[in-house]
Amino acid sequence: MLLHLLNRAPSSSSVHQDVLRTMGEEDGLMLIEDGVFGAVSAQVQHFPGLEGRLFALREDLESRGLAGRCDSRVIIVDMDGFVALTEEVQRTVSWF
Amino acid sequence: MATTQATRYITVEGRDIGLDPEGFVVDLAAWTPAVAEALAAEEGRELTLEHWEVLEVLRAFYARYENAPAMRPLVKAVGQALGPDKGRSLHLMRLFPESPAKVGARLAGLPKPTNCL
Amino acid sequence: MSEITEASHGDLLVMLRHAPHGGLWLREALDLALVGAAFGQSVSLLLMGDGVWALLQGQGSGPLGQKGSQSTFEMLEMYDIERLYVDVDSLAARGLTRDDLLLPVIEVSTPELSTVLAGHRQIFNF
């Protein structure tokens, strides 16, 4: 299992499409930095079929004022959780 | 590379050849076989026919790929050009002790191999 | 379409997604691949997105004389880097086919992409 890290908003970059095409059925996707703009309800449709394995970093949501706007399908993870997650997966792949 | 500064010069056949801090020829066009002989002599090396055929392989590699090879591709290139007996690390280590890719590139007038540490 | 199985794998996968000439990504990616191979790692390249432009035939040097990457790509085989994967959808989206490319490549379809990633011990994304 891989954990993919995405730091671009789906509204400003098409890189999320490459991520989705590359993800295996078990792989997780972690939205960080500007990637968390994709976690709001109006944008989360860019990440279909990822229930239970779509994450967003709490610190990045909060700093952008998005903590209350994050869609319920997205699992919010804080920095500690993020670190724990990266330790559990075989490896991470950064997309930018 | 144009940005490399010569920090010292070696006089070969009346011309001053600029060298970088690691002894690589700065202006690739300034290289002649006599430069190789002079650089080798500085280090107490004597260039035999076997050395020269490897230097030729190095120059051909650079002409084709615009990069000086690291050790593994050098071994492969020597093997392709001179046969499997010579395309071995041992042969190259014997000819150019220490670091065949680096020493060979320097004597052949090439830049330092970028991916050779 | 292809020969991609769980068995086709290597130590290092270098992914290239940025177009050539506009930045240093391509150069950095190739340098990393060459260093890895020089140290005896088995290295594969995967080109997707605008990264596929890097293999387009007929590129020259830049306006300031920046070196093109064609000769470096041709050098990969001397470093025993022989697996050059290309994402077919990225090619098609840019009106390209394998005949437009400098070197023979292994075409990868979307369902096979995750297999390529899973088959490598380390992944570097440029």
Q: Which of C40, C44, C102, C97 is nearest to C71 (CA)?
A: C102
Measure A66 CA to nearest chain C CA, in Å: 28
> How confident is the model at residue C1, as a pLDDT?
46
Q: Are residues B55 and B92 in the same domain?
A: yes
Q: What is the mean pLDDT of residues A72-93?
A: 94
Report if residue B93 sits inside a domain: yes
Cα C56 to Cα A26, A94, C20, C47: the distances in Å are 34, 26, 10, 12
Number of domains in chain B: 2
Q: Which residue has the higher pLDDT, B1 or A5?
A: A5
For residue A85, give its domain range. 2-95
**Residue C7 scores a pLDDT above 60:** no
**Residue C8 scores a pLDDT above 90:** no
pLDDT tier at A55 (50, 70, 90 boundaries)? very high
Measure A95 CA to nearest chain C CA, in Å: 7
Interface test with A, best of C17, C48, C117 (most A CBs within 10 A): C117
Rounded to the nearest integer, the mean pLDDT of chain C is: 90
Residue given tokens 């070696």 in the structure block: B10
Residues, chain C: 126
Rounded-to-integer distance, Cα A13 and Cα A57, Å: 19
CATH number reported for the structural domain that contains residue B98 in this entry: 1.10.10.370
Q: What is the mean pLDDT of residues A3-16?
A: 96
Q: Are residues B90 and B55 in the same domain?
A: yes
Q: List the CATH code of the domain at C10-125.
A: 3.40.1260.10
pLDDT tier at C22 (50, 70, 90 boundaries)? confident
Pairwise CB contact (< 8 Å): A24 & C114: yes
> pLDDT tens for residues A65-81?
999 999 999 999 999 99
Interface test with B, best of C59, C75, C80 (most B CBs within 10 A): C75
For residue B36, give its domain range. 8-42
Q: Would you say the pTM of this structure is higher than 0.90?
A: no
Nearest by CB to residue B65, choosing from C31, C74, C80, is C74
Pairwise CB contact (< 8 Å): C71 & B65: yes
C92 touches chain B (CB under 8 A): no
Rounded-to-integer distance, Cα C100 and Cα C112, Å: 22
Rounded-to-integer distance, Cα A81 and Cα C34, Å: 35
Per DSSP, B19 falls in state E
Whether A61 and A36 have beta carbons less than 8 Å apart is answered as: yes
pLDDT tier at C6 (50, 70, 90 boundaries)? low
**Residue A4 scores a pLDDT above 90:** yes
Quick one: tokens of C65? 């004389």
Report if residue B117 sits inside a domain: no
**Residue A17 scores a pLDDT above 70:** yes
> How confident is the model at residue B80, as a pLDDT?
97
**Residue C2 scores a pLDDT above 70:** no
Rounded-to-integer distance, Cα C107 and Cα A69, Å: 41
Q: Is B116 a catalytic residue?
A: yes
Per DSSP, B29 falls in state G
Q: Is B23 left (phi over 0), alpha (psi -120 to 50) or beta?
A: left
Quick one: tokens of A18? 């490459």
> How confident is the model at residue B1, as a pLDDT?
45
Identified catalytic residue from B10, B30, B70, B116: B116
> pLDDT tens for residues B41-68?
998 999 999 999 999 999 999 999 999 9
Taking the alpha carbons at both ends of chain C, their separation in whole angstroms is 26
Q: Are residues B62 and B102 in the same domain?
A: yes
Q: Which of C22, C11, C108, C106 is nearest to A18 (CA)?
A: C108
Pairwise CB contact (< 8 Å): C114 & A27: yes
Percent of chain C with pLDDT over 90: 75
> How confident is the model at residue C103, as a pLDDT?
95
Q: What is the mean pLDDT of residues C31-60?
A: 94
> How confident is the model at residue C3, as a pLDDT?
63
> How confident is the model at residue A80, as a pLDDT?
95
> pLDDT tens for residues C66-109?
777 889 999 999 999 999 999 999 999 999 999 999 999 999 99
CATH number reported for the structural domain that contains residue A41 in this entry: 3.40.1260.10
Q: Which residues in chain B touch residue C72, judged by CB atoms under 8 angstroms apart? A: 65-67
> pLDDT tens for residues A32-45?
999 999 999 999 99
Q: Which of C43, C74, C38, C67 is nearest to B102 (CA)?
A: C38
Number of domains in chain A: 1
Whether A15 and A6 have beta carbons less than 8 Å apart is answered as: yes
Report if residue B31 sits inside a domain: yes
Q: Are residues B21 and B53 in the same domain?
A: no
**Which amino acid appears at position C122 of this protein?**
Q
ipTM: 0.85
Q: What is the mean pLDDT of residues C50-57?
A: 95
Whether B63 and B108 have beta carbons less than 8 Å apart is answered as: no
Measure A12 CA to nearest chain C CA, in Å: 15
DSSP-assigned letters across all residues of chain C = -----TT--EEEEEEE-S-SSSSSHHHHHHHHHHHHHHTT--EEEEE-GGGGGGGBTT----TT----SHHHHHHGGGGT--EEEEEHHHHHHTT--GGGBSS--EEE-HHHHHHHHHTEEEEEE-
